[in-house]
A and B are shown apart, each in its own frame.
Chain A
Amino acid sequence: MKNRLLWPLLALAALLLLNLIVTPSFFSLRMQDGALYGGLVDVLKNGAPTLLIALGMTLVIATRGIDLSVGAVAAIAGAVTCVHIGTSGSAGTAIAGMAIALVLCAVLGLWNGFLVAGLGIQPIIATLVLMTAGRGVAMLVTEGQIVTVNNTAYKQVGAGFLVLPISILISLLVLGLVAFVTRKTALGMLIEAVGVNPEASRLAGVRSRTIIWTVYVFAAVCAGIAGLMISSNVSAADANNAGLWIEMDAILAVVIGGTSLAGGRYSLTGTLLGALIIQTLTTTVYTIGVAPEVTLVFKAVVVIAVCLVQAPKARAALSFRKVAVPS
């Protein structure tokens, strides 16, 4: 277990080191108006939405599912809140708007859960429905415009600081919460059981459907909060581009963190590391000045490299024994 996290950790360290070498000031931190600034803080701040979505995705993936709709859900959350706030500057309106948005996201999660657990549709397709239609809904809410708001309370969610960026504090809080709940209750074990062998779990009396339903709702709510961060950070809702392809980054983070897409065992710490790796990678592209044309190539190479160092088989290539076939 510990061993499994060593390699993502090393990959992260290597990436950070690269930054340090190229831009020595990367690690420097400075305090200004009670807020911390610096390269590392940027990584945390920008990585917060991905981390949050990846957390929800981890549990979904552990049940052998996948949720492609998170980007669209994030866009909807931002759109609903911004439209609700409109020109108002009051904190109350902002909070009400966010509450409405998150409740809506929970409903969307219920919907995904219904398609997967209720109708038994394959998750990738079930959530593709909302991925497609969801952006339409977000555009419907904003009537195809980019809605800008000017609300200090709302701005705090994505751009505010409490020494550290508020967004990362929220994400870490959620991480802590999930870790606590899954470990202190039996939820984690039951999620894994459903992911590894749904039929055996059913026969053992596990409420598989309820569990699947729960994880999709959780994923959607996480996506909603992430959507709020994204939109709050720029004080605007862009139905077309907010959270675009973030589902891929989230899935990538989960897998780099050592959770298998085949379901079953998952690692929240792994996901945290995975999300940090993804974000550091994106940041690195800017700090070391990779030409925009080769950004994607660079990303591809790093992703493969990170996966290779983690793959037991790649490392075992040095040792001798073949990996055993499960009997």
Chain B
Amino acid sequence: MTTLAPRVPSRFLPVLATVALFVLAFGVGSARYDGFASGQVIANLFIDNAFLIVLAAGMTFVILSGGIDLSVGSVVALSTMVTASGLQAGWPVPLVVVAVLLIGSTLGLLMGLVIHKFDIQPFIVTLAGMFLARGLCFVISVESVSIKDRTFRDVATAAIELPGGVTITYNVVIALLVVAAAMYVLHRTRFGRTVYAVGGSESSALLMGLPTTRVKVGVYVISGLCSSLAGLLFSLYMLSGYGLHAVGMELDAIAAVVIGGTLLAGGVGYVLGGLAGVLVLGTIQTLISFQGTLSSWWTKIVIGVLLLVFIAVQRTMVRR
């Protein structure tokens, strides 16, 4: 770290700190538990958290622009519900996929428009979006609907073999593609740079003549799209649709993004930070499952404590 520090601009420090922490946590795990340090454990981190990676990518856009999106967990649930019941009703898979993505981005669009046009705080609008999406799940069905469609199951269980005998799922590939796309958009396009500008100072961005409206609405569309895509991934992961899926997942996504060094005030942060944040959260879970003997309350306490350790260490590393 120290040898790197002078050459690395300070704005990358939080991300690097998070990555370093992840490596450290992994090191601790490997030292403590047999079989922790295997490629498959790392691969599983990605497999088990693919949907969260996608959510965090979408959330990064929103948070960078200075907003927040609380609806993502519920939109994931709604997407699993639409997927499951659509497939149950015999819709072809492509239709289901398109429908789900359309619903997610439309919801995002609506929230974005309300936020922007009427100047209502994002927290509230997306909280209402959260109620709405979850409510719609129960309108479709209050029961859990399992997915029996062949194609879908095949995709869900298909394993891609990597060198070294490590396997991953298509979910992982999709998640990583989303991360790559998000990075491209944020760093290489006017839209992306305007997201940063709006997060830095909205009134300045407006006076600079940047397309603030498009950006302020657009980030919610992107987040909605990512949420519904994450919902599809979650359906593949759980092979069921249920209104109580993904409860509280919005907080996981926000936590991941913020742990990755993105400022909630907007304007500062990176997609890769969010990815690192997800991996940190995933590692915490993995550590706990390797420990294996914890009661459910100790699990919660340990998650909280580890979260704290990560945040505190990251703070001190960034401050130096």
Indicate whether A and B are direct neighbours in the complex (CB within 8 Å): yes
Residues of A bordering B, CB below 8 Å: 68, 115, 119-122, 124-126, 128-140, 144, 239, 248, 251-252, 255-256, 260-262, 292-301, 303-304, 307-308, 311-314, 323, 325-326
Q: How far is the CA of A140 from the CA of B207 in the complex (A)?
A: 55
A140–B121 touching, CB < 8 Å: no
Residue B193 at the chain A interface, CB threshold 8 Å: no
Q: Which residue of B lies closest to A260 (CB)?
A: B121
Residue B254 at the chain A interface, CB threshold 8 Å: yes
Which residues from A are CB-within-8-Å of B319? Answer: 120
User: Would A303 and B315 be within 8 Å (CB), given that A133-B300, A293-B139 are in contact?
Assistant: no
B120–A136 touching, CB < 8 Å: no
B300–A300 touching, CB < 8 Å: no
B300–A136 touching, CB < 8 Å: yes
Partner of B311, one of A129, A137, A138: A129
Q: How far is the CA of A27 from the CA of B135 in the complex (A)?
A: 29
Which residues from B are CB-within-8-Å of A140? Answer: 297-298, 301
A-B contact pairs, 18 of them (CB 8 A): A119-B315, A121-B315, A122-B263, A128-B307, A129-B308, A136-B300, A136-B303, A139-B296, A140-B298, A144-B296, A248-B127, A256-B124, A297-B135, A297-B136, A307-B124, A308-B120, A313-B117, A313-B119
Residue B175 at the chain A interface, CB threshold 8 Å: no
Q: How far is the CA of A115 from the CA of B310 in the complex (A)?
A: 13
B255-298: contact bitstring with A at CB < 8 Å (1 yes, 0 no)? Answer: 10011000110000000000000000000000000000001111
Which residues from A are CB-within-8-Å of B295? Answer: 144
User: Would A299 and B135 be within 8 Å (CB), given that A308-B118, A313-B119 are in contact?
Assistant: yes
Partner of B264, one of A122, A130, A132, A139: A122
Nearest-CB distance from A254 to chain B (Å)? 10
Q: Which residue of B lies closest to A139 (CB)?
A: B297
User: Would A307 and B120 be within 8 Å (CB), given that A122-B264, A293-B139 are in contact?
Assistant: yes
Nearest-CB distance from A141 to chain B (Å)? 9
Kindly state the interface size class of chain B when it binds its partner: 35 or more
Nearest-CB distance from A305 to chain B (Å)? 9
B301–A298 touching, CB < 8 Å: no
Known: A296-B138, A297-B131. 16 other contacts (CB 8 A): A125-B259, A129-B304, A136-B304, A144-B296, A255-B121, A261-B121, A261-B123, A292-B142, A293-B138, A296-B132, A297-B132, A304-B128, A307-B118, A312-B119, A313-B119, A323-B119
Q: How far is the CA of A300 from the CA of B136 in the complex (A)?
A: 11
Partner of B206, one of A255, A296, A325: A325
Q: How far is the CA of A123 from the CA of B258 in the complex (A)?
A: 11
Which residues from B are CB-within-8-Å of A326? Answer: 203
A136–B297 touching, CB < 8 Å: yes
Nearest-CB distance from B78 to chain A (Å)? 11
B301–A136 touching, CB < 8 Å: yes
Q: How far is the CA of A199 from the CA of B167 in the complex (A)?
A: 51
B307–A307 touching, CB < 8 Å: no
Q: How far is the CA of A138 from the CA of B298 in the complex (A)?
A: 11
B217-232: contact bitstring with A at CB < 8 Å (1 yes, 0 no)? Answer: 0000000000000000
A294–B120 touching, CB < 8 Å: no
Q: How far is the CA of A325 from the CA of B201 in the complex (A)?
A: 12
Residue B245 at the chain A interface, CB threshold 8 Å: no
B258–A125 touching, CB < 8 Å: yes
Which residues from A are CB-within-8-Å of B127? Answer: 248, 251-252, 303
Which residues from B are CB-within-8-Å of A132? Answer: 300, 303-304, 307
Which residues from A are CB-within-8-Å of B5? Answer: none
Q: How far is the CA of A319 from the CA of B89 in the complex (A)?
A: 49
Q: Which residue of B lies closest to A130 (CB)?
A: B304
Q: Which residue of B lies closest to A325 (CB)?
A: B203
Q: Which residue of A lies closest to B263 (CB)?
A: A122
Q: Which residue of A lies closest to B203 (CB)?
A: A325
Q: Which residue of B lies closest to A143 (CB)?
A: B297
Q: How far is the CA of A303 from the CA of B131 in the complex (A)?
A: 10
Which residues from A are CB-within-8-Å of B254? Answer: 124-125
Which residues from B are CB-within-8-Å of A121? Answer: 311-312, 315
B255–A128 touching, CB < 8 Å: yes
Residue B216 at the chain A interface, CB threshold 8 Å: no
Which residues from A are CB-within-8-Å of B299? Answer: 136
Nearest-CB distance from B212 to chain A (Å)? 10
B258–A304 touching, CB < 8 Å: no
Q: Name the residue among B203, B295, B296, B301 with the largest chain A CB count within 10 angstroms.
A: B301
B118–A144 touching, CB < 8 Å: no
B304–A298 touching, CB < 8 Å: no
A311–B120 touching, CB < 8 Å: yes
B298–A136 touching, CB < 8 Å: yes
Q: How far is the CA of A251 from the CA of B125 in the complex (A)?
A: 12
A311–B119 touching, CB < 8 Å: yes
Nearest-CB distance from A70 to chain B (Å)? 14
Q: Which residue of B lies closest to A135 (CB)?
A: B300
Which residues from B are CB-within-8-Å of A311? Answer: 118-120
A297–B139 touching, CB < 8 Å: yes
B131–A296 touching, CB < 8 Å: yes
Residue B114 at the chain A interface, CB threshold 8 Å: yes
Which residues from A are CB-within-8-Å of B301? Answer: 133, 136-137, 140
B311–A125 touching, CB < 8 Å: yes
Q: Which residue of A lies closest to B300 (CB)?
A: A136
Nearest-CB distance from A281 to chain B (Å)? 11
Nearest-CB distance from B73 to chain A (Å)? 12
Which residues from A are CB-within-8-Å of B142? Answer: 292-293
Which residues from B are CB-within-8-Å of A134? Answer: 304
Which residues from A are CB-within-8-Å of B307? Answer: 125, 128-129, 132-133
A255–B258 touching, CB < 8 Å: no
B306-320: contact bitstring with A at CB < 8 Å (1 yes, 0 no)? Answer: 011001100100010
